[in-house]
Structure 1
């Protein structure tokens, strides 16, 4: 448990940091694709992980198979982490792989949406602003609600195993769930490019997929076999909604400290959901795991109006700002500052 705690502590910074880096390097319109790219790797890892474990499991080793899996993945992670530390620039203005002209172009294209680069100082005023921003608390709630249904991902392997397949066959037959995740992530990205300012509506629409899967898991007989497995795959389609939510916050939050806090709140909620969700998916509730399914269903039902509230708040703020002619210079005293928040920059418009 101590080692697992240390693993979670080290891993906890990864996704919030990736969201911040994405917002530093790319324009708002580019966030869905870029975040979708690295979120897709969750599905890819699910596929490769199952295949790797299948291969490792067929080799007789001096250590347990699961230990060998951790050693292989850990070694790859450490190697790539060292490369990332030394090779990743703080922003376009210091990119070693661009020449001086390309660095200038890369910086200028982001000037209208500048985030102030990778600031290392913690801003107390931005902290106070975040505390007063209801969208910050909605980010925490989003993290909880989207993670509570996630244990259904493991439900597929339980169903397959209960059909009489061996452990190794179960590993192989659960790998397509990762492919389903990847497909729907790119469906979400495509929809964001069709309707670039309708991300909230797209998120709500995409919840139909896991909702359908959960309802099917309720009504299908356990004897339906692959029908239950396919339903569990649909019920576990969460990564696409997750990626668009992250892109929404990357686009709608400005100010380095504020963005870091809101990202942290989202992933704290994510961790809370990851702790609480599996508690109802235990052997006492097998084989239907009805209590876990009820929790997943309620989570999505609450999630939809929560997104609608966030959508309405952003739309109202945009309307208020559009009703007033704003001279940006009148709202910034002294020399122009880079690290403005979305509240301070009144020319800023929230992505809906």
Structure 2
């Protein structure tokens, strides 16, 4: 409490100043003249969310289609062992983790319209090259650089959306965006099944065509993305002047999104020193292992229940479809309740049930329906939890550079769990995969612990802020002047979403 009070000291009193949650500063005037807020939000959703969601769908498709390609003979044709295949998966996440923060710094110093499509183009080329890889070394190299190229998309888009929407509106939008991951799993199964029928065309095996066609699709979409990805509200041409002013007014009263904040290394350091940022990272870390082990090994897990490769591709679709529906539903319920932590805990508990079912089924080949039911519970619990966890810092961290750094740190810290997870589903543990399932179960239990700790920390700091404002009723409002706007989430009137 002493450290929190010290952080709050030094606030410049301004009699009559409002807090950071009022919709004042001219919003009513603009609204009554020409702008309907609900219609404007629909317009933003239609113009922004499909564009970035398509990019993320392609990103998840290009990183996880290796699981589908494995069923079509990838490891056999390249002469790799099961453990060498796992090493290739690990290299992807090493590249991903190393370049998260640098990529978001580049985004902050350039523009979304340049950076996001460029990342997509680069990983599309790399993903296509996977289809012509001839040996183990090539497989390792492509997987590493695919991780490097894809590392900047998710944290970049989370930061990007935080510059358009109010804090109370971000959770739902980020969850919709993330639902493209589970949708990619469903599409991946359908596409892999269809594309694998091209085996022999052009002298290529079916697994090569999976990489080539999906990679070429990414390249085509990236070229058009330079035109359909927009920058920030102040420079967007498809907004009228009144709409632009209205967005500026509503965001100014809510967060730092309207500030023309220059990049400062001191803000990066603030993120690194903030214990809450590390807890956000650990929240995702405890989810990334089950998330990526499920997405990368689900086709193999199902195949080892006794199904054919073709049927396994198709059987991945229903669990992902359910996960997509629940991700959106959970986001709506969380948004309406104004809470994150209890919904993450509830969803992770659902996934825990799934892994208990998988672990306790002693004979997946004799009772495949039991294990398949466990897969449904696991997918239905993991994806909603991840969506809520990844949107948390977008709601709670301010200012801009600190938030961009925090978003990237969360993904970097989180994906260290994926690095470990890629080594757990070893061929000699099939078909029960006790090692991998047990780690996933343990991580999900740890997730509940970490989320509970973060919940308590946020509530404690909110109480400290409330106490400070009660003792200093003339505390200046958030973003009311140049002194206050640089304090970001350290400001006494900034309330953390729990």
> TM (normalized to structure 2)?
0.66
Cα drift, residue 94 of structure 1: 1.8
Task: Report how far residue 283 of structure 1 moved.
Answer: 1.0
Instruction: Note if contact 1:159-1:228 (Cα within 8 Å) is conserved in structure 2.
Output: no
Map of 1:103 onto structure 2: 244
Q: Which residue of 2 aligns with 1:319?
A: 463
Residue 8 of structure 2 is matched in structure 1 by none
Does the C-alpha gap of structure 1 residues 184 and 333 become closer, same or farther in structure 2, counting only changes over 3 Å? closer
For residues 276 and 118 of structure 1, do their structure 2 counterparts lie closer, same or farther at Cα, with a shift above 3 Å needed?
farther
Is the contact made by 2:284 and 2:390 (CA closer than 8 Å) also made in structure 1?
Answer: no
Q: CA deviation at 1:335?
A: 3.6
The corresponding residue for 2:160 is 21
Contact 1:156–1:233 under 8 Å retained in 2: no
Aligned ranges 1:39-188 → 2 under 5 Å = 39-59=178-198, 60-62=200-202, 63-117=204-258, 121-150=262-291, 151-188=293-330
**Distance across 1 between alignment mates of 2:257 and 2:475:** 17
Where does residue 310 of structure 1 map in the other structure? 454
Separation (CA, whole Å) in 1 of partners of 2:462 and 2:417: 31
Is 198-207 or 55-64 further displaced after alignment?
A: 55-64
Rg larger in structure: 2
Gaps of 5+ in 2: 1-139
Counterparts of residues 284-295 of structure 1 (less than 5 Å): 284-295=428-439
Whether 2:397 is the aligned partner of 1:250: answer no
| 2:442 aligned residue | 298
Cα deviation code 1:232-265 (max 9, x no counterpart): 2322332211111122111000111111221111
Deviation of 1:9 after TM superposition, in Å, equals 0.7
Map of 2:350 onto structure 1: 209
In structure 2, how many angstroms separate the alpha carbons of the residues matched to 1:94 and 1:336?
26
Distance 1:54 1:323 in 2: 60
Count of residues in correspondence between the two structures: 350
Q: How far apart, CA to CA, are the structure 1 residues paired with 2:360 and 2:477?
A: 61
Kindly state the Cα deviation for residue 324 of structure 1 after the two structures are TM-superposed: 2.3
Question: CA–CA distance in 2 between the matches of 1:119 and 1:76?
Answer: 36
> Residue 113 of structure 1: SS of its match in structure 2?
coil
SS of residue matched to 1:207: helix
Pairwise CA RMSD of aligned residues? 2.3
Corresponding position: 1:228 with 2:368: no
Q: CA deviation at 1:5?
A: 1.3
Among 279, 282, 307, the residue aligned to 2:423: 279
Say if 1:90 and 1:119 are closer, same or farther in 2 by CA, change over 3 A: farther
